[in-house]
Structure 1
């Protein structure tokens, strides 16, 4: 990538450093991508003493320190993701959370996972707006604004906004299978719950006059990995949504994450990242279809009928999660976690290179591990692909993975040239 629009990695002494081969925040274009913050005291490098409240406080203090260090404020947070070890701790986390977002609340996702690094009880991750962009010596407009929206046709929550738009993306809060009229989980099993999650997403998008086919990335949090087929059965009735998308066989990039528990004891929860063709005012309004979604698959990486390997829009490429599958056989590679990590990253590298980018353009890496104790082995391989430790990163332990894999990785990649208008 040339230096015209640069990947900018930054670290501050006021937040934990040297916990792994990653940067605290990586900015590109109009977003800052933060590494997930653990409840670690930056002075000692150790977990803070106390319980869930003390740990949640420290996670958010670390995020605020990073935000302050890049001359932003907490109201510039667009999305928050909270991973807890025990879903019953959610009320205690929310008590602390309210003090950091007393008026404005970002989009939010919450899930309980099997394990977190350092045996933490909570981990918090943030996506931050970046009004000035990252063009060296030529700042982009500094007056972009966030657009927040809530619709009565989807479930509302006082601690999250249904969708927060900034620049060319809408970031939706994860949708639970909640009936917006009753505020309760819908009756039935995982199929009925999946339908409701997707209906809620569609209602939110309709409320901001955005097409369902403008979704570029879907993250599905699922209680039982064995429910994937049932979820897919419903999923394919929603995607593709329009005749144009059906003609192009368009499907968003996708990641499936097995979790230990979800709010309200739901079986499934779905999160979406959506294109925003006209930007956020007071930027000059573009033609709604001036920017295009570019979907790409290469035969040199595993291909799936349920998702696209990478979907680009504006200045970002969103990759589907990569499992340690040999693209020639479609079978899990032999060996242990090191070999599986190698294959995941090889698949990612292949996809990135197929769209004329390099691993230096990766701004965020999300790693899902069957055994959290494998972090050291993963890092031994990871650093051969990212020797400078530039991307921001998240690691969570999950109860299981598709194909009974030990690891799954997805990434977000910078897209310097943006996605130009159709000829």
Structure 2
């Protein structure tokens, strides 16, 4: 295909046992980030806020910033920070980051800049909080940019009619397990309210830190085994997953991936997006992330 599109939809009535309510979407643009006629900077609904992907564009000039991938990464993150500040949301309320790179070789330079933005607050630094994260190597980006970044943000006060004073009634809960590969740049699982974001998992054996041997089927099995270990470490099961995103180095591997994929689920399969990418970190054949339902929610701050 030449194009593929997925979506997230507001669901004001909720799912049982939540009672229906008149929650509304709240959309906002900031003068301090580049505007677009085809998207809104930030769209909040209930306890989550989706930030449009930010290119390394100077909002004053509308042009790409001068310099290489470091300067471009900094501008992307500055744009996201400006958007969050425009709605009085701290940078460390980000629960998931997606980084799109034109060249995988730029990842170390991107990470160097990334670590200057996370953690942002003294509290986050104390607990070494970093969001869940996925890195995608794209064949091209708009404006011939080298990097593009989007984010999902926790939105404690919710959208009307929820009371603003409830802002701090819900907390971010981050967790790592020894049974899946760890990274200093991301947290394996970040829960907030009724959702839980799982960082992209490579087919890495957590005991050795190396890619597993074998083809796409074996690598898919390891990715999903890592996700399963993470999900079970927070007392959930694979069937609690509501969305899966799969990256494939070779789209022709999709049938082999599917054969393994269905063996990890017992009930209705999650929503899913599959994309072919130009490269995957560690020269892997597959990378998978997920969003998990978190019915118990996260606790109020004491």
Query: One fold, TM greater than 0.5?
Result: yes
Q: CA deviation at 1:389?
A: 4.5
Are 2:175 and 2:190, in contact at CA under 8 Å, matched by a contact in 1?
Answer: yes
Query: What SS does the aligned partner of 2:217 have?
Result: helix
Which stretches of structure 1, 4 residues or more, deviate above 3 A after TM superposition? none
Q: CA deviation at 1:286?
A: 4.1
Which position in structure 1 is the counterpart of 2:260? 381
Which position in structure 1 is the counterpart of 2:13? 132
Q: TM-score, normalised by structure 2?
A: 0.98
Q: CA deviation at 1:139?
A: 4.7
Cα distance in 1, alignment partners of residues 201 and 210 from structure 2: 13
Query: What SS does the aligned partner of 2:258 have?
Result: helix
Which position in structure 2 is the counterpart of 1:345? 224
Q: CA deviation at 1:386?
A: 2.1
Are 1:146 and 1:164, in contact at CA under 8 Å, matched by a contact in 2?
Answer: yes
Q: 1:200 aligns with which of 70, 79, 82?
A: 79
Cα distance in 2, alignment partners of residues 418 and 159 from structure 1: 33
Which position in structure 2 is the counterpart of 1:408? 287
Q: 1:328 aligns with which of 187, 204, 207?
A: 207
Cα distance in 2, alignment partners of residues 317 and 168 from structure 1: 12
Q: How many residues align?
A: 302
Tell me the C-alpha RMSD between the 2 structures.
0.9
Residues 7-406 of structure 1: matches in 2 within 5 Å?
Answer: 120-135=1-16, 138-406=17-285
Query: Could you list the per-position Cα deviations for residues 128-167 of structure 1 after superposition, in whole angstroms to 9, with x for gaps in the alignment?
Result: 00000011xx552330000000000000001100000000
Structure 2 residue runs of 5 or longer lacking an equivalent are: none
Query: What SS does the aligned partner of 1:121 have?
Result: coil
Structure 1 residue runs of 5 or longer lacking an equivalent are: 1-119
Query: Could you list the per-position Cα deviations for residues 190-244 of structure 1 after superposition, in whole angstroms to 9, with x for gaps in the alignment?
Result: 0000000000000000000000000000000000001000000000000000101
Cα distance in 1, alignment partners of residues 288 and 18 from structure 2: 33
Query: What SS does the aligned partner of 2:72 have?
Result: helix
Are 2:239 and 2:267, in contact at CA under 8 Å, matched by a contact in 1?
Answer: no
Cα distance in 2, alignment partners of residues 211 and 141 from structure 1: 29
Are 1:383 and 1:389, in contact at CA under 8 Å, matched by a contact in 2?
Answer: no
Q: CA deviation at 1:290?
A: 1.3
Query: Could you list the per-position Cα deviations for residues 77-124 of structure 1 after superposition, in whole angstroms to 9, with x for gaps in the alignment?
Result: xxxxxxxxxxxxxxxxxxxxxxxxxxxxxxxxxxxxxxxxxxx00001
Q: CA deviation at 1:289?
A: 1.5
